[in-house]
Structure 1
């Protein structure tokens, strides 16, 4: 028995619990406090004392019968008012239908069944209540006569057996999803499907505005009692009701006021200040703009052995089972969402007054439970926090959820529920008797499930342990994700107890196969490549193979491999002999795209230095900072850029100056042996500046080995036989430029260099996209957006590598579907610190773009790269939110 249920039982028996000098005491009628009940009080003594200390001493007033005439407009309760507005906003919806389908096997007496339900509707005014707008626009409720109520019987007995089941499913689904008209309908619908003389299906549907979970038990119990009596020719055996729901609604509007209301509203205002608008659980599908409440249920069980151990732990720590379950669920949500502010809703029966217990009506209230895991608590500490959270919530549960919402004024949306979207329920409701004379009852499984929230964990304790039902919104989650949640919840249920003094984020949640899959299987990427070579050594090897092949083209200029290599060697010898460049010497390159830029890059590398791109379009202040930070004493540039770099003129070399070029012609065209320079693949190839997290540019040092690692991947995957070369369209300061700048020169292909002006870049890209031959492109999503409206078409089989920012399905779809459908697109991900790129997702066919996912995936790690998605240093479940850790050969200094 949980705390709430115990409080109800002692109240129903006329027992008063109170504190006497801080100790628990009670007053009870003779025999009321029996041995069994006393043991329950003792078991929950600590919680009872804490709750009594928190609760306001002011007792709420008793519910009285209000004077009213049959046609009077009566006030609604706060929950009814909210559901009425929700219904109006959504123009009717079935998400608040409460349905049950029972198979009745045996001899059914239809007259007794109809009379039983008519008696129930007559007995409970709320089932014959309808709702209209009052003069002030607020809803009022009116009570109609029972005469219009009918039980609808549908005869399916003439349908062949093989088709009968399909008809049953169709009728059940149709009935459970059929909207109530709150303006005129009875709030109870009853259908009987006749399958044969000895077999019927009973369909019962109530609207939540007139019912709740407790009410279902009341309905079933009363129906069973009345049917049994009427079937045997007896009268109505039920005792008259002391009050009706309309009396409760009037009491709620007028009885909860003054200090009690102010104090409890103040508690909720403080407790829920700064509440997250929406949870951060990863979704399998994009959240729709309006909820459809389509749901499904995944069920599983947890053994009594596990439950006994868990309950004993909770008891030893002065907590209830629900407090423990709430703590475990909070850990699960935190570890899946990578958040520490966890919000969970939980219903309470809210039937503290004995006179409302036998009523059908919407009494249930919702408590918003908030957990703080920001300090990485132990499970012992988190359980204590959950205990306090629950006790505080119970002590302030008289305020209707609707008034809490009104007080907080949260941002409203049709796409999610207010304040919380995840619910936790431990079933303690009255289930009702399901025994009928001459009939055997069994539940009929319903195809359609309504999910009022994104996710509801519904737990029922039974003799076998725990029955766990995961009710989820199918517009957001796939069943595979829910199965994983269920498995990891059970693993935490056990694991947190095995190490209650440990940080809850350190407790193992994954299975051994999951660990092995993430740490080993998915990271089995090792391949052999020339890891000990420098970039220019791979280029020189290609010069030997294809000396006369065109290497680089710029406007009307071109160089073959041999010509390019000779010019590079002359500049490299000059840098060594005249500028004393050696391994890891940083050399600035401030140049527009040109053949000279390519020569400069390879010359710096051959000399042993590392180039530092200085984009001519950067502000002078940024360039000055980079010059100072990199301590540059040499900058290679062009005459047209004179004045861009604030450095002594003798530290500048203008590679397009005729006198300088004449001087270079005196230097050797021989290759330089790296050993003569002491150069290895561990030395730097370039230093590229990113924006930096502090606002100041940050230099990322990239060694030859990291670039060679990337180039080995790019050559193998991007330079298919049909690719004649690349189109270079991006600045040198953008590290993704390496793809189209260096990759072709490692494999005997050419690079086509586009001019610097933006309009010429766009024109050039359009021309080469429409070209007769196939090329390798490296562009950003912004380029795709810009060019998507241009005249581009054809059957070209280019390779288009996309990087630099997040790629969306919306951005790429027109390209793959319409513009260049035969082209292969590659979404390449990689921060600068991983040398250009470290993972790829390939879009070869249109179906590789998932229409229901906003972002195109980043794919899988390339060769010799390892990916680990961790939260708090621990591997996390597939699909959960964490931080990406990247390891392997491509990681820079």
Structure 2
């Protein structure tokens, strides 16, 4: 176990007294540990036991109680037979059929290449990469009610090269990454080299989500760099052989799920999420459109180093990971904004809990629906323990494809929002492999302003050497930039309040900053507290009966008209037996 853990952490050794929980709190590292234990020791060890172990010795005792792995072994499927899609690919295919011209599910990346660049070696490296990974030369087609994969032979790679000036760089990246893909004809990987000068280039990579995920990007970059170095030196690339491909995983996933794992995990999620699938109703600047436009913008939220250190200290004190604390803080923000007692947030998981999948490019990532429940007495410390338990339990049921969960729970389908959740939280640790040095050439990641949004809001947080960065992506059909700025400020204020006293009730944590409080207090008007609302409105009717009371979509009612209508409705309700404390349901058009 020490050897496996040291290998994952890339350190020489792990001691018995290392803070195992804090390390295990990184779900990516924890997943790699359990997948290697499954492969080498043929034991199923729960992520929960890893999260709850204080040191290596405690974890060894828990691992000793593990059961034999029940999952089927990976096998290479016959390529002459029709190749099924994975469950995640199946949903992507359906979404593409609905909107073939959408770029909402493009995965873009940009790399800055500074130094002497061998363009032919780079082109050959991509050709070798595509020959190595079948998913990069796969297209999709429909036969009757069934969709299938079609793997094409390896061929030369078209690396587009063009010259741009620095002022047009950002716009050119946005334009390139916003081009849709044709899933039936491919290719589903595009690479365009933008030449700024003889020793300064930007490599723009775009893939469709149906063939890749976030984990795939550093795998691809690392292998291209190694292939490029070998081509420049005129030697054969030394990459480990791939025993399996994504098509083998897709067949394995269906075999495993259909053998009973699907029903086991689905039972948990049914109990957890119940029969009601509420929509998260945030205060937006505009009504939700009938169909998502997927147009988005991003806001960088600055977090000072002192605040980040205080957050980490609070997480340690409460016995949770930084991920759990940040998730709880985001759910608190959504609760305070919506007023809803239950808040659901989508959280992506790598879903590469088999060692055979770690080095593959493909669409493995899964999405979990993590909920939090609030009442007026809930303290943030209590919420943290609730979130901790929910996250740990979800890790033990992370394999059920989100697509199957949607199909089983049958939420009301709508083109205006995503099913089961409308807001996503994604926390990760920065991958240092994205910045690499080659003789005469430095490769580093390049940031730019993406303009797509798959959900109403997405909060991305990244741990890195310099601290913690946060990006809020928002749907521009719903939110204005000024509103996004306020939301970012509210979240930052919540974090500061949490660090000052995590025992506060959630309802009492600070949301507004001092300037907003002063502005709001300046507008305070006193109303007679002894009078009911309808009495105050009737007094206004007596004072200004002809004044406009309400207006919408070209129609308006005066106070007198409004009062008459209200009275007619009140009498009708009283005839039906309605009196004080009787609930009356209403059904009206949005407006």
Decide: shared fold, TM above 0.5: yes
Contact 2:302 2:469 in 1 (8 A): yes
Instruction: Flag the 1:418–1:146 CA change in 2: closer, same or farther, 3 A.
Output: same
CA distance in 2, matches of 1:472, 1:50: 42
Which residue of structure 2 aligns with residue 64 of structure 1?
A: 75
For residues 139-173 of structure 1, give each alpha carbon's deviation from its aligned partner in whole angstroms, at most 9, with x where no partner exists. Answer: 111011222631112244xxxxxxx3454344322
Contact 1:51 1:392 in 2 (8 A): no
Which residue of structure 1 aligns with residue 12 of structure 2?
A: none
Higher Cα Rg, which structure: 1
For residues 598-655 of structure 1, give each alpha carbon's deviation from its aligned partner in whole angstroms, at most 9, with x where no partner exists. Answer: xxxxxxxxxxxxxxxxxxxxxxxxxxxxxxxxxxxxxxxxxxxxxxxxxxxxxxxxxx
Q: CA deviation at 1:217?
A: 0.8
Runs (5+) with no aligned partner, structure 2: 1-22, 565-589
Instruction: Flag the 1:213–1:148 CA change in 2: closer, same or farther, 3 A.
Output: same
Which residue of structure 1 aligns with residue 508 of structure 2?
A: 506
Instruction: Flag the 1:250–1:466 CA change in 2: closer, same or farther, 3 A.
Output: same
Matched, 1:738 2:542: yes
CA distance in 2, matches of 1:311, 1:688: 48
Instruction: Flag the 1:831–1:368 CA change in 2: closer, same or farther, 3 A.
Output: farther
Which residue of structure 2 aligns with residue 848 of structure 1?
A: none
Contact 1:288 1:415 in 2 (8 A): yes
Q: Secondary structure at the match of 2:469?
A: strand
Which residue of structure 2 aligns with residue 284 of structure 1?
A: 285
For residues 532-565 of structure 1, give each alpha carbon's deviation from its aligned partner in whole angstroms, at most 9, with x where no partner exists. Answer: xxxxxxxxxxxxxxxxxxxxxxxxxxxxxxxxxx
Contact 2:100 2:180 in 1 (8 A): no
Q: Secondary structure at the match of 2:551?
A: coil
Instruction: Flag the 1:216–1:179 CA change in 2: closer, same or farther, 3 A.
Output: same
Contact 1:151 1:192 in 2 (8 A): yes
CA distance in 2, matches of 1:193, 1:209: 26
Which residue of structure 1 aligns with residue 251 of structure 2?
A: 250
Q: Secondary structure at the match of 1:391?
A: helix
For residues 184-231 of structure 1, give each alpha carbon's deviation from its aligned partner in whole angstroms, at most 9, with x where no partner exists. Answer: 102110111233322222111010000110001111111111111112
Which of 110, 125, 136 is the matching residue for 2:134? 125
Which residue of structure 1 aligns with residue 188 of structure 2?
A: 187
For residues 245-280 of structure 1, give each alpha carbon's deviation from its aligned partner in whole angstroms, at most 9, with x where no partner exists. Answer: 000000011122344321210111121114443211
CA distance in 2, matches of 1:500, 1:50: 31
Which residue of structure 1 aligns with residue 30 of structure 2?
A: 7
Contact 1:425 1:458 in 2 (8 A): yes
Q: CA deviation at 1:830?
A: 11
Contact 1:330 1:371 in 2 (8 A): yes
Contact 1:281 1:333 in 2 (8 A): yes
Which residue of structure 1 aligns with residue 116 of structure 2?
A: 107
For residues 356-406 of structure 1, give each alpha carbon's deviation from its aligned partner in whole angstroms, at most 9, with x where no partner exists. Answer: 101000000101001110353111211111011111111111111111011
TM-score by length of 1: 0.56
Q: CA deviation at 1:308?
A: 3.0
CA distance in 1, matches of 2:553, 2:560: 14
CA distance in 1, matches of 2:242, 2:324: 35
Contact 1:47 1:319 in 2 (8 A): no
Which residue of structure 1 aligns with residue 322 of structure 2?
A: 321
Q: CA deviation at 1:300?
A: 2.3
CA distance in 2, matches of 1:131, 1:488: 44
Q: CA deviation at 1:18?
A: 8.0
Contact 2:109 2:205 in 1 (8 A): yes
Matched, 1:149 2:157: yes
Q: Secondary structure at the match of 1:404?
A: helix
Instruction: Flag the 1:324–1:18 CA change in 2: closer, same or farther, 3 A.
Output: farther
Instruction: Flag the 1:112–1:40 CA change in 2: closer, same or farther, 3 A.
Output: farther
Alignment of 1:303-318 (within 5 A): 303-318=304-319
Instruction: Flag the 1:44–1:302 CA change in 2: closer, same or farther, 3 A.
Output: farther
CA distance in 2, matches of 1:315, 1:46: 19
Which residue of structure 1 aligns with residue 4 of structure 2?
A: none
Contact 1:304 1:463 in 2 (8 A): no
Q: CA deviation at 1:482?
A: 1.8
CA distance in 2, matches of 1:332, 1:17: 43
For residues 413-451 of structure 1, give each alpha carbon's deviation from its aligned partner in whole angstroms, at most 9, with x where no partner exists. Answer: 111111111111111374534323322345444344221
Which residue of structure 2 aligns with residue 217 of structure 1?
A: 218
CA distance in 2, matches of 1:46, 1:485: 42
Contact 2:298 2:449 in 1 (8 A): no
Instruction: Flag the 1:234–1:500 CA change in 2: closer, same or farther, 3 A.
Output: same
Q: CA deviation at 1:454?
A: 1.0
CA distance in 1, matches of 2:68, 2:392: 15
Which residue of structure 2 aligns with residue 657 of structure 1?
A: none
Q: Secondary structure at the match of 1:358?
A: coil
Instruction: Flag the 1:168–1:302 CA change in 2: closer, same or farther, 3 A.
Output: closer
Contact 1:224 1:434 in 2 (8 A): no
Which residue of structure 1 aligns with residue 394 of structure 2?
A: 393
CA distance in 2, matches of 1:509, 1:232: 58
Contact 1:190 1:203 in 2 (8 A): yes
For residues 680-715 of structure 1, give each alpha carbon's deviation from its aligned partner in whole angstroms, at most 9, with x where no partner exists. Answer: xx9x9xx9996xxxxxxxxx4x7xxxx9xxxxxxxx
Which residue of structure 2 aligns with residue 455 of structure 1?
A: 457
Which residue of structure 2 aligns with residue 717 of structure 1?
A: none
CA distance in 1, matches of 2:182, 2:371: 36
Which residue of structure 2 aligns with residue 412 of structure 1?
A: 413
For residues 748-778 of structure 1, give each alpha carbon's deviation from its aligned partner in whole angstroms, at most 9, with x where no partner exists. Answer: xxxxxxxxxxxxxxxxxxxxxxxxxxxxxx2
CA distance in 2, matches of 1:372, 1:52: 35
Q: CA deviation at 1:738?
A: 2.0
Contact 2:351 2:364 in 1 (8 A): yes
Alignment of 1:192-211 (within 5 A): 192-211=193-212
Alignment of 1:690-701 (within 5 A): 700=535
Q: CA deviation at 1:103?
A: 2.9
Q: CA deviation at 1:97?
A: 0.5
Q: CA deviation at 1:523?
A: 2.6
Choose between structure 1 and 2 for higher RCO, CA contacts under 8 A separated by at least 6 residues. Answer: 2
Contact 2:298 2:450 in 1 (8 A): no
Contact 1:60 1:256 in 2 (8 A): no
CA distance in 2, matches of 1:295, 1:460: 20
Matched, 1:474 2:476: yes
Alignment of 1:610-689 (within 5 A): none
Matched, 1:802 2:556: no
Contact 2:42 2:69 in 1 (8 A): no
Which residue of structure 1 aligns with residue 349 of structure 2?
A: 348
CA distance in 2, matches of 1:267, 1:300: 36
CA distance in 1, matches of 2:554, 2:439: 62
CA distance in 2, matches of 1:828, 1:492: 44
Q: CA deviation at 1:25?
A: 9.1
Alignment of 1:519-530 (within 5 A): 519=521, 521-523=522-524
Q: Secondary structure at the match of 1:396?
A: coil
User: For structure 1, which segment, 377-386 or 301-310, has the greater mean C-alpha deviation from structure 2 after superposition?
Assistant: 301-310
Which residue of structure 1 aligns with residue 362 of structure 2?
A: 361
CA distance in 2, matches of 1:184, 1:487: 45
Contact 2:381 2:502 in 1 (8 A): yes
Contact 2:346 2:423 in 1 (8 A): yes
Runs (5+) with no aligned partner, structure 1: 27-38, 157-163, 527-681, 691-699, 708-733, 742-777, 779-800, 813-824, 833-853, 856-893
